[in-house]
Structure 1
Amino acid sequence: MAATMEATVTWRDGLVFDGQSGTGHAVVMDGDKAVAASPMELVLMAAGGCSSVDVVSILQKARQQVAGVQCHVKGERADAIPAVFTTIYLHFLVRGTDLAEHHVERAVALSADKYCSVAKMLESSVQITHSFAIETE
């Protein structure tokens, strides 16, 4: 049986909405970006978050001494409405001790090509690229 997820979005005022996941977690969204991230910004954060979960998990399984992972995500949007993302670029900064470059490269590639559900969902309409850098502690 397929897994089911649910969420509820409730209008607060203006263009501000409260989102609540089926697991009880909340997020605020703002179409004007005055008090919270916009839904499109959340899409970028979701891509970066999903990929980061994969990268950390893969590196830990490879017994790499990871101390931190930061993913900078940049999205380019179409000029016309709907202003969908046309490209998304993810750059990972991986910090740790004695990190093997081939393990980091493999983790980023596996996330992008196989594991990241958000990236896989978007890739049919968005060109997604990635890179990484390693910072030794």
Structure 2
Amino acid sequence: MQASVKWVDGDTFIGHSDSGHNVVFDAGSDSAAPSPMEMVLMSAGCCSSVDVVSILKKAKQDFDHVEVKLSAERAETAPRVFTKINLHFVVTGRGVSEKHLARAVQLSAEKYCSVALMLDKAVEITHSHEVVEREAK
């Protein structure tokens, strides 16, 4: 895997992946885009969400909405690394099994999510979840 990051202007940069995608980063106070640390946090949420969605589909759960709400704490002084991250999954559907969701989150946390597993070596990562029952139409 390869990528490049080019400075645009001020505190704005554009990352370019070897798969041909561009991402804007902004490290300044006038942020026009997510900061690098926000991108790391969102990457952990996306990576784990991919796993949870895949596992719930395999378990034939009837869901139509998955959101992971991310919260993080950072060190007070430089380098301002993450010290804690929580991934809170909210799954909306009809009759979604809390047991299946808990297992999906656990499998992602312990086995599949490469981003969170990499971060877990230096950051306290916790997971939580809830099922929201979709109302009948």
Same fold (TM over 0.5): yes
2:7 and 2:67 mapped to 1: Cα distance?
32
1:1-137 maps to which residues of 2 (within 5 A)?
Answer: 5-32=1-28, 34-137=31-134
1:112 and 1:93 mapped to 2: Cα distance?
16
For the Cα contact (< 8 Å) 1:56–1:66, is it kept in 2? no
Count of equivalent residues: 133
Q: After TM superposition, which residue ranges in structure 1, 4 or more long, deviate above 2 angstroms?
A: none
Q: How far has the Cα of 1:21 moved from its partner?
A: 1.1
Identical pairs, percent: 54
RMSD: 0.8
1:119 and 1:72 mapped to 2: Cα distance?
14
Structure 1 residues not aligned, in runs of 5+: none
Structure 2 residues not aligned, in runs of 5+: none
Q: How far has the Cα of 1:66 moved from its partner?
A: 1.7
Q: Deviations over 1:82-132 (max 9, x none)?
A: 000001011000011111110000001111111100011011100000100
1:114 and 1:134 mapped to 2: Cα distance?
22
1:73 and 1:32 mapped to 2: Cα distance?
21
